[in-house]
Amino acid sequence: MLYVIGLGLGDERDITLKGLEAVKKCDKVYVEAYTSLLSFGLSSSGLSSLEELYGKSITLADREMVEEKVDDILSEARESNVAFLVVGDPFGATTHTDLVVRAKKLGVEVEVIHNASVMNAVGLCGLQLYRYGETISLPFFTDTWRPDSFYEKIQSNRVLGLHTLCLLDIRVKEPSLESLCRGRKQYEPPKYMTIGTAIEQLLEVEHSRGQSVYNEDTTCVGFARLGSKDQMVVAGSMKELLTVDFGAPLHCLVIVGKTHPVEEEMLEFYTLKEYLKSQKKT
């Protein structure tokens, strides 16, 4: 059996009871380490926290292992119980869908155990989940690559009055272009997009497209470290959010569409004014 188990968003304790029971039945346990991040990271100390609570030795599965050595994992799952742990919910990334598809094609039994993900945790700010349109991913711009295909998706959502969740780029164990040209992989340091970078890129694309889909006065909500004790939620215009230090990753951003009075009432608790007020108290 291959168990694909969501870990939730905060720390090692966010695993469900069902998920923990499944882990304890497994002979081999992997934790995926490149599509998201637990609040304490997945360094050696973070991995030790997982191993201590779960009572199992855990192998860190980076992008290369999952994409290039997935057959080894699936071969193990044919003969024994194998757990594949995913931050958030198992289907928060297409990579995990591909893993399940490949397993089923090979005749490996699969059980999926769900958990909280960013896709539902953003409901914290009061914007109703059923009023969201298509989610977009914002990649880091480079000197030679500045994709803007997400612009039409935001435009479609805003025409319908829907909110847009923007998932921000994570670059973990990415080979540098120079090393690829030399034929020997050397990896860049981990890089996590901030809300500030996301807004700057969004405004750059609006400036070049010029269709007035949004502007620096458009209301957004910035989220940092959702599910952790020090999570941060601030609502304001793009211009206002550029002044806020959201701290450590992971960050995401919501571009607010047409709001219902109940949504507005809840959102009021997270305005920049309220955030600054709370900072003075502490």
Phi-psi region of 41 (alpha: psi -120 to 50; beta: other; left: phi over 0): left
What residues are designated binding site? 9, 89, 92, 117-118, 168, 226, 251
Q: How confident is the model at residue 173 (pLDDT cuts 50, 70, 90)?
A: low
Q: Count of residues for the chain?
A: 282
Residues of the binding site for S-adenosyl-L-methionine = 9, 89, 92, 117-118, 168, 226, 251
CATH of domain 119-280: 3.30.950.10
Q: How far apart are the C-alpha atoms of 24 and 128, rounded to whole Å?
A: 36
pTM of the entire structure? 0.90
- Residues whose CB falls within 8 Å of the CB of residue 189, separated by 6 or more in sequence, listed in order: none
- Are the C-beta atoms of residues 103 and 90 closer than 8 Å to each other? no
pLDDT (tens digit per residue) in 48-73: 888 999 999 999 888 778 778 889 99
2-116, superfamily in CATH? Answer: Tetrapyrrole methylase, N-terminal domain (3.40.1010.10)
Q: How many Cα neighbours within 13 Å face the side chain of 250?
A: 26
- Distance, C-alpha 109 to centroid of its chain: 27
What CA–CA distances, in Å, run from 149 to 139, 205, 220, 264? 11, 10, 20, 30
| Alpha helices (H) in 34-132, listed in sequence order | 44-54, 63-68, 70-79, 94-105, 118-121
> pLDDT tens for residues 124-152?
999 999 999 999 999 999 999 999 999 99
pLDDT at 179: 62
- The domain segmentation of the chain, as residue ranges, is 2-116, 119-280
Q: What is the pLDDT of residue 178?
A: 66
